[in-house]
Amino acid sequence: MTVTGDDVTRRRGRDETEEERADRMWVELIQEVRVAQTGVQILFGFLLTVVFQQKYDTLGATDKTIYIVTVVLGATATGALIGPVSLHRLVSGRRVKPQAVRWASRLTFVGLVLLLATMTASLLLILRVATHDGFVPWLVALVVLWYALCWFVLPLWTRRRYTSR
């Protein structure tokens, strides 16, 4: 897009084809997914070991329920964040990269939301076991607000504030 004014002409955006844009966006997306994948896989691996610890048998019904929900959330987050890799592999060479990038981006966003839920449930469980104080829900809520601010509010504000119309 060309913007003119005061005898100055400048280009906005990149001069790239749809395929070049899809290639660039794919590389950027995969770099982002690598960070989230590593975190969710480590967290999920840790969660899978908890049930085999002696302390697990002493947990109350509520804590066991939180644990089960947390493991399921971790499994779904892992699936969503690994999904873009499988998607790319299965459609590679089919000339659908722009569509694949859109779907991979959606999977990544869903994976981040599920990762947020997994981390919230994990934190709730750990703090409930570590301390039985009534401030645990408040502390978890503050951490969730921090995650939401860092992961969603700030990026959305930046997009709105700095995206040209």
pLDDT one-digit tens code per residue, 99-125: 999 999 999 999 999 999 999 999 999
* C-alpha span between 69 and 117 (Å, rounded): 10
Rounded CA separation 65/17 (Å): 50
Who contacts 31 (Cβ-Cβ below 8 Å, separation ≥6)? none
Give 85's pLDDT tier (boundaries 50, 70, 90): very high
Sorted by sequence, the CB contacts under 8 Å of residue 92 that are 6+ apart come out as: none
Mean pLDDT of the chain: 91
Confidence class of residue 12 from pLDDT cuts 50, 70 and 90? low
pTM of the complete model: 0.86
Give the mean pLDDT of 67-74: 98
pLDDT band at 132 (very low <50, low <70, confident <90, very high): confident
